[in-house]
Amino acid sequence: MKLDKIDNSLLGLLQEDSKKTTKEYALKLGLSTTAIYERIKRLERAGAIRSYVALVDKAIVDRNFTVFCHVKLVQHVKDNIAQFEAQVMRLQEVVECHHLSGDYDYLLKIHVKDMDAYRHFMVNKLTAMNHIGSTQSSFTIKEVKHSTAIPL
């Protein structure tokens, strides 16, 4: 799918606030509400817009302790990779998992209540998984920047 300047502007507006009306987007972009509606539907059908979500405040739901955990598998082979990825998908504490190049195989972003909750997660869930050789954890002191928006 080829995106034009208006598509990019519309996607930017939707990333800022997807609860506005098509009329509000139309006014900002100088198009009709029908044109905006059709563009949004086309972007959804093409997969450019994957879903609409609510961004929840971590502190309010008591998950304000953020950990970045590097994971090294015992052996970086297809079966171990597939099994690890399937298992990590089921861990609700893990909000992101990235397969990496370099010294470690994966980087996990984890949200839990506190250090005790993280220890419980490590001992009972993460390190209980097969094929994990080592882990290294870093704890967030302060979240300086956080965005879910994709730069356009």
Could you report the per-residue pLDDT of 61-103, keeping only the tens digit for each? 999 999 999 999 999 899 999 999 999 999 999 999 999 999 9
Residue 1 CB coordination number (10 Å): 9
Q: What is the CATH number of the domain that holds 87?
A: 3.30.70.920
Could you report the per-residue pLDDT of 25-36, keeping only the tens digit for each? 999 999 999 999
Same domain? 69 vs 42? no
Q: How far apart are CA 85 and CA 97, in angstroms?
A: 8
Number of domains in the chain: 2
Same domain? 75 vs 128? yes
The residues, ordered by sequence, that sit 6+ positions from 3 with a Cβ below 8 Å of its Cβ are 11, 48
Look-up of token digits 């984890």: 110
Could you report the per-residue pLDDT of 3-54, keeping only the tens digit for each? 999 999 999 999 999 999 999 999 999 999 999 999 999 999 999 999 999 9
Same domain? 70 vs 130? yes
